[in-house]
Amino acid sequence: MSNYHIKNLKEYFNVYEKSVKEPEVFWEEIAEEHFLWHKRWDNVLSWDFTKPEIKWFENAQLNITENCIDRHLRTKKDQTAILFEPNSPSEDALHISYGVLHDKVNQMANVLKSKGVKKGDRVCVYLPMIPELAYTVLACARIGAVHSVVFAGFSASAVATRIVDSDCKIVVTSDGANRGAKTIDLKGIVDEALKSCPGVETVLVAKRIHTEIHMQSGRDYWLAPLTESASTECAPEIMDAEDPLFILYTSGSTGKPKGMVHSSGGYMVYTAFTFKNVFQYREGDVYWCTADIGWITGHSYILYGPLANGATTVMFEGIPSYPDCGRFWEIVEKHKVNQFYTAPTAIRALAKEDLKFVEKYDLSSLKVLGTVGEPINEEAWHWYNDNIGNKNSPIVDTWWQTETGGIMISPIPYATPTIPTFATLPLPGIQPALMDENGKEIAGNQVEGRLCIKFPWPSIARTIWGNHQRYQDTYFSAFKNAYFTGDGARRDAAGYYRITGRVDDVIIVSGHNLGTAPIEDTINEHPAVAESAIVGFPHDIKGNALYGFVILKDTGADRDQLRKEINQLISEHVGPIAKLDKVQFTDGLPKTRSGKIMRRILRKIAGGDTSNIGDTSTLLNPEVVQSIMDEVI
């Protein structure tokens, strides 16, 4: 019997119990019945969190694109696989059928091959949300190359860091990107980045905005003439289940971004299974996730999960506010979207607008609403539920991470009763634990602690590219024999989980993970700056915004000018998303005797909550706290 599609709460509990009692049997049945393998596994799972080493479906062979494309051709050749909705509503949507997707992906795969890309090579993909992005990602998977998609909002130096870290020899980009009424010069950013990436030999350029750009002879090639003349057949590279499928960078609390490495087999099985259940996808439904493919949400739930299920998945190039704040709802009506998955920050931004932007459209096709990326506040939840779901589309508040590859804690719609702000129950195969400060598991309900996962699941990232030690240190050293998520959580009387937020130095701004260290390092590069500390503070739309405390070398400098320069530097080095909303210049920072900045205190000051600043007795310089409070901007 397959446990692939859970339809009610009783079934969820049965399936969950089985997944915990006999995890190998559970996942083996799913893998066996629902996917195409060239060779069966010798062993379902072997794992050791102390090394850490995790292997699923060992020695099995597959190609994920055969599962996502080829095997649907017999029955769904003409069904839309990807429904591309352009930035401008005056441009027609593009219905890319499974048949066309097959041809486009194979052509792209042949182009990559012709440029010397081989199995195991890393390919940097720096593209906007246009069909070529989907084709390129899948083409890499077709030939066993490891894609490293870099979100097209990142700056030149962020792109360069990622290219160098994973040693990409080829970059796929476009002449530019549309973003609402604006355009972005992507190729210019790539040119700038490549000044510090001597290893890159080839740049393939898709045409989107048709501007004049610089093409470096011998390095840069227009994509279209190459793909048009390429064959639409490309035999899939047969991959081991544990071969890397992709690298995706995520911010850490310290140091450079971490290139999380995801596997081929386990990742496929888990994203397909969770897509089916968390969105209750049925044949013929139209599913839309508004994320960018530059993030894990787009990898797992725009491309791989939906395509592995033969679904129709919408890919939207634009932004929610263009040409006006009704754009999302216009698209829902136009394509009769059944499942809609977005971020709390988008909901909060749209909830601020006039309801007429919603009421103009017929949203009755919606059956399931989802959120991801950060805790959703109660007000936003109700606005979403009342106005978008008309109180009859369950909201799935899905908790997961770049590292987890797929959704971990989430309601199953029409099965799990939902409560605002609760991600509710673990999905089958997921064994959460709450830990106390001393590393001991906290049993029972109505408790709060650090969220860990005690048992491996198929889509857990296997390592950090080039730095297995950091993988161990970051995720497997805080608690014995458990994966540490970096989040805090509460478990209520019914066993429901509520994620309370990061417990490390990662700040989530508009759903984007930002590490404090890289931003502070950037600020400290400014010649006038001696030292800095960044904390988050609550923001109506972004969830959190960034507040910088900066010590100057020269206190006489023009402060408004400095604020601009600091943000300019951050924009260039990290990306505009990491700009500071507030910059306070100060004479000192609260530090412990070991020299560590006590961010807890800065967080309180930044959040305007100075009534109870807590214990400052362990500080080296307690007097500095009062002076920072006096200077608050």
Q: And the tokens for 200?
A: 């890159």
- What is the number of other CB atoms lying within 10 angstroms of the CB of residue 8? 12
Question: Could you say which of 402, 516, 522, 532 contacts ligand WT7 (CB under 6 A)?
Answer: 402
Of 62-70, 180-188, 357-365, 369-377, the window that binds ligand WT7 (rule: CB under 6 A) is 369-377
Task: Please say which residue, 202 or 402, places its beta carbon nearer to ligand WT7.
Answer: 402
- Kindly state the smallest distance separating residue 544's Cβ from ligand WT7, in Å: 11
Letter string b/e over residues 42-78, b meaning 16 or more CB atoms within 10 A of that residue's CB: eebbeeebeebebbbbeebbbbbbbbbbbbbbeebee
Q: And the tokens for 376?
A: 């959703």
Q: And the tokens for 174?
A: 């476009």
Distance, in Å, from the CA atom of 546 to the CA atom of 500, rounded to the nearest integer, reads 18
Question: Could you say which of 86, 486, 515, 590 contacts ligand WT7 (CB under 6 A)?
Answer: 486
Q: CB within 8 A of 607, min separation 6: which ones?
A: 537, 538
Q: In the bound complex, which residue of the shown chain has the CB atom lying closest to ligand WT7?
A: 402
Question: Could you say which of 12, 98, 246, 400 contacts ligand WT7 (CB under 6 A)?
Answer: 400
CB contact at 8 A, 606 and 542 = no
Of 52-60, 206-214, 459-467, 481-489, the window that binds ligand WT7 (rule: CB under 6 A) is 481-489
| 577 near ligand WT7, judged by CB under 6 A | no
Question: Could you say which of 30, 372, 533, 574 contacts ligand WT7 (CB under 6 A)?
Answer: 372
| 423 near ligand WT7, judged by CB under 6 A | yes
- Kindly state the smallest distance separating residue 371's Cβ from ligand WT7, in Å: 6
| 508 near ligand WT7, judged by CB under 6 A | yes
| 459 near ligand WT7, judged by CB under 6 A | no
| Count, residues near ligand WT7 per rule CB under 6 A | 22
**CA-wise closest residue to 65 among 38, 84, 92:** 38
Q: Which helix (H) or strand (E) element contains residue 224?
A: helix 223-228
Question: Could you say which of 202, 250, 290, 342 contacts ligand WT7 (CB under 6 A)?
Answer: 250
Task: Please say which residue, 161 or 532, places its beta carbon nearer to ligand WT7.
Answer: 161
Of 278-286, 292-300, 428-436, 618-626, the window that binds ligand WT7 (rule: CB under 6 A) is 292-300
Question: Could you say which of 52, 259, 375, 413 contacts ligand WT7 (CB under 6 A)?
Answer: 375
Of 105-113, 391-399, 424-432, 608-616, the window that binds ligand WT7 (rule: CB under 6 A) is 391-399
| 575 near ligand WT7, judged by CB under 6 A | no
**Residue 631 C-beta-side C-alpha neighbours within 13 Å:** 17
| 427 near ligand WT7, judged by CB under 6 A | no
Of 7-15, 324-332, 400-408, 599-607, the window that binds ligand WT7 (rule: CB under 6 A) is 400-408
Q: And the tokens for 489?
A: 């959580």
CA 456 to chain centroid, in Å, comes to 20
Amino acid letter, 3: N
CB contact at 8 A, 150 and 125 = yes
Q: And the tokens for 276?
A: 């089916």
Q: CB within 8 A of 606, min separation 6: which ones?
A: 535, 536, 537, 547, 582
Task: Please say which residue, 338 or 398, places its beta carbon nearer to ligand WT7.
Answer: 398
Question: Could you say which of 305, 373, 413, 590 contacts ligand WT7 (CB under 6 A)?
Answer: 373
| 103 near ligand WT7, judged by CB under 6 A | no
Of 107-115, 207-215, 382-390, 482-490, the window that binds ligand WT7 (rule: CB under 6 A) is 482-490
| 296 near ligand WT7, judged by CB under 6 A | yes
Q: Which burial class, exposed, middle or buried, applies to 472 when counting CB atoms under 10 A from its CB (0-12, 13-18, 19+)?
A: middle
Verify cis geometry, omega within 30 degrees of 0, for the bond prior to 527: no
Q: CB within 8 A of 52, min separation 6: which ones?
A: 471, 472, 475, 476
Of 366-374, 461-469, 543-551, 598-606, the window that binds ligand WT7 (rule: CB under 6 A) is 366-374
CB contact at 8 A, 249 and 257 = yes
CB contact at 8 A, 424 and 496 = yes
| 401 near ligand WT7, judged by CB under 6 A | yes
- Kindly state the smallest distance separating residue 461's Cβ from ligand WT7, in Å: 10
Site pattern 513..552 for ligand WT7 (x: CB under 6 A)? x---------------------------------------
Q: And the tokens for 169?
A: 């020899």
Task: Please say which residue, 52 or 536, places its beta carbon nearer to ligand WT7.
Answer: 536
Q: And the tokens for 190?
A: 């790539």
- Kindly state the smallest distance separating residue 62's Cβ from ligand WT7, in Å: 24
| 298 near ligand WT7, judged by CB under 6 A | no
Q: Which burial class, exposed, middle or buried, applies to 114 when counting CB atoms under 10 A from its CB (0-12, 13-18, 19+)?
A: exposed
The residue count for the chain: 633
Q: Which residues bind ligand WT7 (CB under 6 A)?
A: 250, 295-297, 372-375, 397-402, 423, 485-487, 499, 502, 508, 513
